């Protein structure tokens, strides 16, 4: 498929993703709690969503015809909050309130607390069923918006995940795209040690899903996959995004121990230094 993403826009997205990673680190160290690995790993994908893919209006977060982005693995909400702030849903200064008393930026997203957040999440495995309901509602109302569900690989341990997957296949919900963060870790270790998921692609296909494997850090490849999903009319699509947990920060990458903890001040300083150097390399590669 020919890419619809021009080189100049790709450069902007790659630079934005790195800025988002920097703000994730700054937000987490200010909060003193939260998850590091997943948000850093999904920064490229959330950048692609908020700055290229989604049909949305940050100034009108409840616009009826907006695309719906459901965050099932709510613990990676720092990446969503930071992307939303950069997109203009609220001022970036508010990121400093993450996980603080009376903050709109709770440790797991709360639907009524922050405009632009579609669902309350926390209990893993619920997001795909919520997304199926929203996609069915769009069909019943003859609406053209699309529904995207960001999921973790670890939450596939939950049985209700598969109930939603089966129902989406049954009703051929072509307006639904699941994006699976296949980073191979969960809070207690590596997914294939705790509860093996493979063959993950074959499982989705057996439930009548169209499946695309992508490098979750290749924005062009991910965007192409999303537009391929739009061309599939007879079934839902699952994009298995292979990501590196802690992407961009060497001492966090592929270490499951960073799944559920924030950096301290010294670790944050080292992480930000590394990300700023990475940002310089990104800019020079496109010059």
Cα–Cα distances in angstroms (integers) from residue 75 to residues 33, 121, 155, 261, in the given order: 11, 8, 11, 11
Whether the full predicted model's pTM is greater than 0.95, yes or no, is yes
Domains of the chain, first to last: 7-285 (3.40.50.970)
Q: Which two tokens stand for residue 72?
A: 């099932």
- For residue 123, pLDDT over 90 is answered with no
- For residue 1, pLDDT over 60 is answered with no
| Strand ranges, E, within the chain | 68-71, 147-152, 176-182, 185-186, 189-190, 210-215, 237-242
* Cα–Cα distance measured from residue 29 to residue 145, given in angstroms and rounded to the nearest whole number: 36
Question: Do 150 and 181 touch, CB atoms closer than 8 A?
Answer: yes
As a whole-number percent, the residues of the chain with pLDDT over 90 amount to: 94
Q: Which two tokens stand for residue 87?
A: 């997109």
Residue 52 DSSP code: I
* Cα Rg, the chain, nearest whole Å: 18
* Cα–Cα distance measured from residue 11 to residue 287, given in angstroms and rounded to the nearest whole number: 10
Count the neighbouring beta carbons within 10 Å of the beta carbon of residue 52: 18
User: pLDDT tens digits for 66-83?
Assistant: 999 999 999 999 999 999
User: pLDDT tens digits for 180-227?
Assistant: 999 999 999 999 999 999 999 999 999 999 999 999 999 999 999 999
């Amino acid at each position: 498929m020919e890419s619809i993403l021009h080189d100049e826009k790709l450069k902007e997205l790659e630079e934005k993703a790195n800025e988002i990673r920097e703000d994730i680190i700054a937000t987490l160290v200010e909060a003193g709690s939260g998850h590091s690995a997943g948000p850093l790993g999904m920064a490229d994908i959330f950048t692609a969503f908020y700055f290229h893919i989604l049909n949305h209006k940050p100034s009108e977060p409840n616009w009826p015809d907006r695309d719906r982005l459901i965050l099932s693995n709510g613990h990676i909400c720092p990446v969503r909050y930071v992307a939303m702030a950069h997109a203009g849903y609220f001022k970036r200064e508010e990121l400093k309130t993450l996980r603080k008393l009376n903050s709109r930026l709770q440790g797991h997203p709360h639907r009524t607390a922050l405009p632009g957040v579609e669902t309350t999440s926390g209990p893993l495995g619920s997001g795909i069923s919520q997304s199926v309901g929203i996609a069915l509602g769009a069909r019943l109302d003859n609406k053209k918006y699309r529904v995207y569900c960001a999921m973790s690989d670890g939450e596939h341990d939950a049985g209700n995940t598969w109930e939603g997957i089966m129902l989406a296949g049954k009703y051929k919900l072509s307006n639904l795209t699941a994006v699976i963060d296949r980073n191979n870790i969960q809070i207690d270790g590596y997914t294939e040690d705790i509860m093996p998921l493979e063959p993950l692609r074959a499982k989705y296909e057996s439930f009548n899903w169209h499946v695309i494997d992508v490098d979750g850090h290749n924005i062009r490849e991910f965007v192409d996959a999303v537009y391929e999903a739009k061309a599939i009319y007879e079934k839902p699509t699952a994009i298995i995004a292979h990501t590196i947990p802690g992407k961009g920060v060497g001492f966090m990458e592929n270490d499951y121990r960073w799944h559920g903890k924030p950096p301290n001040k010294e670790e944050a300083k080292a992480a930000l230094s590394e990300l700023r150097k990475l940002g310089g390399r990104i800019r020079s590669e496109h010059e």
